Each structure stands twice: as structure tokens, then as C-alpha cells.
Amino acid sequence: GENVEQHPSTLSVQEGDSAVIKCTYSDSASNYFPWYKQELGKRPQLIIDIRSNVGEKKDQRIAVTLNKTAKHFSLHITETQPEDSAVYFCAASMAGGFKTIFGAGTRLFVKA
């Protein structure tokens, strides 16, 4: 069945450093790849997304890259700040598929 693998499960960085989270998906029909941030006790919220017709997308300190051939996509956070500390989820879905598969999550700690 469809699967999304996410690594690492935990990531600890110093404030100001970069953080990279990687995901791999199995269903080659997937064409929409969102990233969600979930702060402690809160709901997941979209921070950035990318579609399969684009290789890279950037929004201020956050960027996402997609390699369709390898079925890999990654989240890059630069100049990390303590408020970036949260659980980050990658996901994959297909228009018309009605099912978004989430990765297992990465707990990011940014140390001040």
C-alpha cells in the first residue's frame, strides 16, 4: 500500500543552524506534497507545499525540494529559531485520491 517514510524521527540543532528533514513516498501517482507543523498540544498546520510539476519552492526561511524520479522530497529550514521547535510531518496525496498519507513525524528541537 501507499507509504511515506520520514527521517530523522528526532532532530536537535543549535539556534541559527539549518535543519533538513527527508521523506520518501511509494505511490508514483502522488502529486501533492504538503508539510505540516504541529506545536505541542496544537493542531497540525500547513507551512509549505509543493506539486509534482515543480522541483523546488521557497518561502522565507523554509524551502522544499522534490525529486520525482527518486520519489524523495525534503524540507529545509534555515536560520532556525527556538519557535521552530515542533513536530513536522511530511505527507503525500493525489488529486482525486481522497487520501493523504503522513510520514511518522520529526520532532525538531532548536536550542537557544
If binding is defined by CB under 8 A, does position 3 make contact with another protein?
Answer: no
If binding is defined by CB under 8 A, does position 99 make contact with another protein?
Answer: yes
If binding is defined by CB under 8 A, does position 94 make contact with another protein?
Answer: yes
Of residues 14-73, those binding another protein (CB under 8 A)? 31-32, 34, 38, 42-46, 49
Q: Return the amino acid letter for 36.
A: Y
The backbone torsions φ and ψ at residue 67, rounded to the nearest 5 degrees and listed phi first, read: -120, 100
The backbone torsions φ and ψ at residue 82, rounded to the nearest 5 degrees and listed phi first, read: -55, -35
The backbone torsions φ and ψ at residue 53, rounded to the nearest 5 degrees and listed phi first, read: -90, 5
Partners of 18 in the beta sheet? Answer: none
d(CA 67, CA 49): 14
CB of 28 to another protein, least distance (A): 15
Q: Which is nearer to another protein, 42 or 61 (CB)?
A: 42
Binding site for another protein (CB under 8 A): 31-32, 34, 38, 42-46, 49, 87, 89, 93-102, 104-105, 107
